[in-house]
Amino acid sequence: MSKWMCVSVVVAACTSSSSSPQVATGELGAWLAAPPLPVARANHCSVAIDNWVLAIGGNRSDGNGGFVNTDEIDAAQVAADGTLGAWQVAGHLPSPGSQSTCTSDGHTLYVIDGIFDDASKGSQVWSGDFSVGGTFESPLVSLGALPNDTYAISEAATVIDGTLLVTTSNTSDDTNEPDQTFTIETPIGGGAPLAWSIDAWQGVDFRAASQLAFSTTTAYVLGGYHDPAAGAITDTFDAPIGAAGALGTAVATTELPAPVAFGRAAVIDDWMFVVGGRPQVYTGGGSTTVYSAPIAHDGSLGAWTMPTALSAPRTNFALALVGEYLVLTGGGNDGPGDTMVLVAQARGLAAKPD
């Protein structure tokens, strides 16, 4: 089985810590080409810190049927008009690796789990502080391990009020335990050890390659697949986030217009965006389709519409929101890893008339 085809690539977009006077309307500007990544990559993760976008780890084809991981953390500044400056090496993962889950809080980067060349570096939370000059002044350090028998391979994470939340979906080795989607939470920062809690998404079984996202009040699981032979699905769920990151009861919300897996989801103000991906698990290329839906006060999703499509089909990529702009890095169409970067304005656009 090709590693390219079987990986799960589902990381929600991260937002910049800086505020923007503009808001999302469900529309997107044209997807414009930006300076390419210095290293071809797919199955990586991306975050925004201030006006920087970071592309973290990932893998690419070695040209002989295999794959090469990178340990590079590359960074580029995003100007007020959405143009990107030159990419630079900001730091390194503890080992070349791919499929990590990433998020940021202020100037701090968190890298959760991943498939590393040095397997001892997996199943942990790695952290480092990003400087205003665009580099990590010290190597990333491990904050501790994930809960036993828990993996967070290309999933979604966020930090809310000092709590790290990670949504993941694992198969169980115990025949008496169901395959399950769940969110794990731990207080983070201040040097205290990680203390995980686990909240199952009741009624949501194992999902791979879902589009996962967080707002400050709600967690989302959108699409993905649970049977590779059947391909992607359209089911979507939301669950409220309570005190200390505790997850409330998950409920079904408006289904995607078409099956999507291996894409990305991003919450931008009161809108949900689902970008790219593909409908099949082991076959087929990427999609150019983008969907958006309004988010109600209770966290539920309204009707989906289709804003500006991608300018190239994309799957297994990474996505970050930097101020008013979505920045898409790497991924591919029907092969693992390239250097493509696309940018689209996501805030401050006129809404479509009713």
What is the per-residue pLDDT across 223-281, written as a single tens digit (0 to 9) for each? Answer: 999 999 999 999 999 999 999 999 999 999 999 999 999 999 999 999 999 999 999 99
β-pair type (45-49, 115-116): unpaired
Domains of the chain: 3-345 (2.120.10.80)
Q: Taking all residues of the chain, what is their mean pLDDT, rounded to a whole number?
A: 91
Mean pLDDT of 131-136: 94
260, 246, 45: which is closest to 155 by C-alpha?
45
3-state secondary structure (DSSP) of residue 244: helix
What are the pLDDT digits (tens) for 277-297?
999 999 889 999 999 999 999
pLDDT tens string 137-164: 899 999 999 998 888 999 999 999 999 9
- In the block, tokens 């001892």 appear at 120
Percent of the chain topping pLDDT 90: 83
User: 17-21, 168-172, 198-202, 323-327: which range is least confident on average?
Assistant: 17-21
- Cα–Cα distance list, 22 to 180, 183, 348 (Å): 38, 31, 5
At 5, the pLDDT band (50, 70, 90 cuts) reads very low
Query: Taking the CA of residue 336 as centre, how many other CA atoms within 13 Å lie in the half-sphere pointing to its CB?
Result: 25
Average pLDDT, integer, range 126-135: 96
State how far the Cα of 202 lies from the Cα of 79, in Å rounded to an integer: 43
C-beta separation of 93 from 79 below 8 A? no
Rounded to the nearest 5°, which phi and psi values hold at 5? -85, -25
The per-residue pLDDT for 170 is 75
Whether residue 175 is predicted with pLDDT greater than 80 in this model: the reply is: no
Amino acid at 299: G
